[in-house]
Every structure is written in structure tokens, then in C-alpha cells.
Amino acid sequence: MEKLLRNSFMFLSKNKMMTKLAKKYGLRFGAARFVAGNTIDVAKDVIKQLNNKGLDVTLDYLGEFNTDANEAAEAADHCIKAIEVIGRERLKSQISIKLTSMGLDISDDVVLENMRRILAKAKDLRVFITIDMEDYSRCERTLKIYKQLKSEYDNVGTVLQAYLYRTVKDVEDLGAYQANLRLVKGAYKESANVAYPDKKDVDQNFKKIIKMHLLNGHYTAIATHDDQIIEYTKQIVNKYKIPKTQFEFQMLYGIRPEKQLDIVHEGYKMRVYVPYGTDWFGYFMRRLAERPANVAFVLKGLIKR
């Protein structure tokens, strides 16, 4: 049953008609738990509340798969506005960006033009930018573009996914770039030809790349809600005396908020991934696919309405 639900939600996450309807009717059906409003003006208040609790943030303007250059440029404009708000309000927040929202499916030139505009503004206001990783078919191009941008800007990092077979090699390769990496399990439906199909293998690989990157001496964000992975990371940093300034934990907005605060109270940095915007449907479906408990929460909310 769990596998059927996951496959169904992953299918819906790519449904263009449902995405269009979701944009029209807004953050209903429980999505507001995971998405901090439609606009940056609403999202900034959420960031302030999280900052006041000792939580840092990475802000994501929702949107992906832009195939029109004007829409990609508009998405970049939204990110630049968010950067300006972060700077003006002195928020403890970074920005996360999906390259398909910046025109990755149009051309490298389009996405590089938009990313350079964003990174230039972010550099001026001392805001860090993380390039999110998407599905396997876009992995190689994403890393290629990241390497190009890293040669031009210091304030940019990217994401690697533990469920891909290639990731250990990618960690080794990015060591030469002193990459700031967010390490995740991975949230897309991939073929067993490119990704580990079994959770135990994903977990084992996740632990491996966490240890590798930490011992490389480069900044590591461990993005997980899994207590086992969190405890493993604590053991590694204690064993090898890795300073707390070299790593952080990350979790998604709306998931395990009590655990997020527990980690802060233990003296670790915790960053919350906060999405906002009208193009929320695909993101929301992937969150439901990841955890059956999220489905129960949404159904409970609907009954109350």
C-alpha cells in the first residue's frame, strides 16, 4: 500500500493539469503545512519566526520545468527580490534554486544568464545560494553548471543524492572544488539502473558520503529527518573532532518541528528548508510520497474542514 501511494503521488507531482489547478485554487488540502505562503512578504514572517527560535533557513521560490525564457527570467527576478528582502530584513536565510526553474530545459546559456544575475546580487548582500538537485536525467548538467558557476562565485553550493550509484564518485570529484554540499537521500522516482532500490542500501551510501565529505574538510549539510542518520553524523563529528562550524543539519518546513528545536538546543546548527510561491503542487506531492504520516495529517485536516 505504501509503495502504491508513493508511486501515485510521484506521478501526480509531474501532472501539468493538476499543477495548473493548484496554482489557481491556492494552498489548500493541507499544503500550507509545508509551504510558507504565496509571496515573499508572507514567507519573510515565517523566516523571522523560525530565526527567533534559533533556526536558520534556506528559502525556495517554488517552480520547476520552465520551458519559456521569459518565465525563467521572471523566476530569477523573484529570487533576486527574495535576496533583497533577506538583506534588508537581516534574515538568517540562504536561497535554494532548481535549475529547471531558471531554464535548464531551454539551454545552458539561459540558465547561466539567470544564475549569474542571482549570484551577483547574492554576493553583494552576502547571501549563499544552493543549487538543488533534481532527477537523474538532469544530474550531470546540473553539476557541470555548478562547476562553472563555482569558478566565478564563492557563494554557491549544490546537492548530492545518496540513492544514486554515481554519488560517491561525485563527492570525490567535487572535493577539488571545495564544494559546500547538501547531502540528501533523494526524492525522485528513479530506475534501479541508476539508483539503489532498497532503503538499507541508500542509508548505507548516505552514511558513506557524509563521512567522506566531512573528512574532506568541506562544509556539509546533512538534510534528513532520519534519527539513525542524525545520530551517525553526531558520532562521526565527535570521533574525528570535526568542528560544528563545518556542518549543519537540515529539515523541511512542517516536518518534525520539535526535533528541529531539539537539535538546536543540543548546540548544533539546524537549517529549515522553507518553500513559498504558487507553484507548490509538485513539491507537495513529493512530500506526501516521502512519508505516509504526511498523508494522514492532510486527511485529518480535510475532515476538520
**Catalytic residue flag (residue 56):** no
DSSP 39-78: SHHHHHHHHHHHHHTT-EEEEEE------SHHHHHHHHHH
**Neighbouring-strand partners of residue 182:** 159, 221
Nearest Cα residue to 159 out of 128, 133, 177, 129: 133
State whether residue 192 is helix, strand or coil.
Answer: coil
For the record, the C-alpha cell of 149 comes out as 558557476
Catalytic option among 56, 60, 182, 286? 182
Among 132, 170, 203, 279, the one annotated catalytic: 132
226 catalytically annotated: no
234 contact partners, CB below 8 Å, separation of at least 6? 268
CA distance 90 to 185: 31
Measured at the CA of 151, the angle between CA 146 and CA 152, to 5 degrees, comes to: 100
What Å distances lie between residue 27 and 35, 81, 256, 302, CA to CA? 8, 22, 20, 13
Contacts of 119 (CB under 8 A, 6+ apart): 129, 149, 152, 153, 155, 156
Which residues are tagged catalytic?
132, 182
